[in-house]
Structure 1
C-alpha cells in the first residue's frame, strides 16, 4: 500500500476541528501533520487536541514544510482563493472549503493556477460523496419518480453573533454564501445540468448587512426548477424534496448527516395522504468527511480524474453571482 498522503490544516476553524479533521483521521490513505494559524498558541492547541506533534505559527510556515503534500483550507470565504493560489504555487494540492470564492471571476483564477502548478484544487462539498445523495441522484435518473421537474430546499439556522465570520458582510458572510451554495450545488448535481437564469428575494440584516433570508428560484429550462430558501436567523432546519411526475424523493437531513450514523431517503410513489405509498431506504452508516478525504487523495495521486474539477466551482459561483445580482435588480438575471 502506498504511503499515506500528508495533510496540513490551514486554520483552526470549527468545521475543521469538529467535522473535517476527525473524518480525515479515519481515512486509511491520509495522515494529518498539523494545524497552522496566525496565532501560534491557537495552532498548537488545535494540533494538541488531535495528538499531533507539529503546528505552525503562520500559514506561510505550513506551506514551507516539505513534508506537507496537501492543504485543507477552512479559512473565511474571502481568503479561500488567495491562500489556495499560494498553496498551489508552493506545490501543494488543495482541498478548500465552500464557497470556493466570492464570485466566478475570482474562482476562475484557480483554473489557470492548477494548470501552472500541476497540482489539483478541489472545492469541499462533502455532500457529493455521501451515499444518500448518490442514491438520490440514481433514483432521479432512473425514471422511477417520472420526469423530475422540481427541487425544493430549505436550509436555516440561527446565528446573530456579530463576531462570527458568517455575519461579516465584507468577508463573504450571509445565508446564500454559507448554505445557499449547497442548494445551488445539489440542484445541479441532481438535474445534471446548468441553470439558465435566476431570481432572488433578499432580506438583509440592517446592522450586519448580510443576507439573513434569501428565497430564490433557478430555472434549468424544460420546465425544471430549483426553489429554495436559506436563512441565518430562523430556527435550525434542513430538508429537500425532489418532485417528479409520478413520485417524489425526500432527504430529511440534507447537509449535516451525522458522522458514522445511518441516514434515510424517502421515496413516495403515490402521494397518498395516509403515507401508504412511502418507502424509506436506510443508507448505511458512513462519515461523509472521510469519504471526501479519500476521494481527494485518489485525485491528488492521479488514481482517478475528478468528477467535479475546479471548473465546476466556477459554474456554481456563476449561479450564485446571478442570485446576488437579482437581489439588487429585483428581476430575473441570466446565468
Structure 2
C-alpha cells in the first residue's frame, strides 16, 4: 500500500479553511498533516475537523519538517513565486494558488526549478480536474458544435464593500484579471489548445487595480470576448459558438456554490442535450491527481507552461489597456 502524501498549508486563509484544507483532508492518498500560522485562533477551525494537525508558528518551520511531502500555498498573489521557490528548495512538492506569478516571465524560474529538482510544482487550477471541463473539451474537439467561431465568457462578483480585501490592493497583486481572468482565459485555452494571436482590453480601474476588465482576442479561426469584474452582481458562464451548434457551460468555475455544473448542447432544429455533474468536488479531484502524480509519476493535467500561457494573455491585456 502506497503511503499517503503528507500535506502542509502555508497560512490560515479563509479559502484554505473553506475549500482546500477540507479537500486535502478528504482526498484519497492525502493526509492533512500541518498548518503554519502564528495565530492559534486561526488554527483552531482547522484543528476542529483535523484534531491531529501539527501547528507551526512560521512557514519556515513547517518547511523544515522532513515528514511533510507537499505544501499548498494560499498566500496573497505577490508572495506566490517567493514561497513556491522556498518550498521547492526545502524539497517539497508545491500546489500554489492562482495566479502562480504576477508576470509570465516570472514563471520561467519556477520551470527551471521544477526541472532541476524533479518536484511537482504547479498552479492550483482546479477546473481542469472537473469532468464538466474534460467533457467540454472532448465535445468541441469531436465537432459537436461544428467549426468553432466564437467564445464568450463572463465571471463576476462584487467585493466593493470589502475594502480590506487583498484583491482590492495593488501591492498584494489584486485585480479582477489576476483573480478570475485566469479562469475565463485559461479555460478557453484548455478547451481549444490554442493561443491568441491578438489581445486587447478595456479596463475600469480603482485604486490601481482592474475592477472591470473587458478582453477581446483573436485565436486561429475564432474570436473571443470576456468580462471579469469585482464590481458586478455574481454571474459566471462560458459559451462555445460554432457553425453547427452552441455549447454552454453553466457554473463553470464554482460548481456546487454558484449553481450545478451542467453542459447544454444546442444543435440544429432546436434540439438540446443537457449533461449534469452533480456533487463533483474539483478541489478533492485536484488533490487526488496531485498525489497520484507525486507517487506514480502520472502526467498532471495543468503544467507551469499552461499557467504561463494564461499569464501571458493577462500581461498582454494589461499592456494594451494602460496609457
TM over 0.5: yes
Match of 1:198 in 2: 199
Q: Deviations over 1:6-39 (max 9, x none)?
A: 00011111221111122222212100012112x2
1:278 aligns with 2:279: no
Unaligned residue ranges in structure 1 (runs of 5+): 330-335
How far off is 1:194 after superposition? Answer: 1.3
1:2 aligns with 2:6: no
Aligned length: 320
How far off is 1:185 after superposition? Answer: 0.3
Match of 1:79 in 2: 79
Q: Contact 1:43–1:57 (CA<8 Å) still a contact in 2?
A: no
1:53-202 superposed matches below 5 A: 53=52, 54-160=54-160, 161-202=162-203
2:302 aligned to which of 302, 308, 318: 308
Q: 1:96 to 1:42 in 2, by over 3 A?
A: farther
Unaligned residue ranges in structure 2 (runs of 5+): none
CA–CA separation in structure 1 for the residues paired with 2:151 and 2:301 = 22
Match of 1:332 in 2: none
Match of 1:298 in 2: 292
Match of 1:19 in 2: 19
Q: Contact 1:298–1:304 (CA<8 Å) still a contact in 2?
A: yes
CA–CA separation in structure 1 for the residues paired with 2:173 and 2:41 = 23
Q: Contact 1:98–1:125 (CA<8 Å) still a contact in 2?
A: yes
Q: Deviations over 1:133-161 (max 9, x none)?
A: 11111111111210012111110000022
| 2:7 match: secondary structure | strand
Q: Deviations over 1:60-115 (max 9, x none)?
A: 01100111000000110000000000000000000001011000111111011112
TM-score of the two chains, using structure 1 as the length reference: 0.92
Segment of structure 1 superposing worse, 13-22 or 43-52: 43-52
Q: Deviations over 1:119-144 (max 9, x none)?
A: 11011110000010111111111112
How far off is 1:5 after superposition? Answer: 0.6
CA–CA separation in structure 2 for the residues paired with 1:179 and 1:262 = 19
Match of 1:45 in 2: 44
TM-score of the two chains, using structure 2 as the length reference: 0.95
1:258 aligns with 2:256: yes
How far off is 1:283 after superposition? Answer: 2.1
How far off is 1:43 after superposition? Answer: 5.0
CA–CA separation in structure 1 for the residues paired with 2:117 and 2:191 = 32
Q: Deviations over 1:183-217 (max 9, x none)?
A: 11001011111112210000001xx3211100001
Q: Contact 1:158–1:235 (CA<8 Å) still a contact in 2?
A: yes
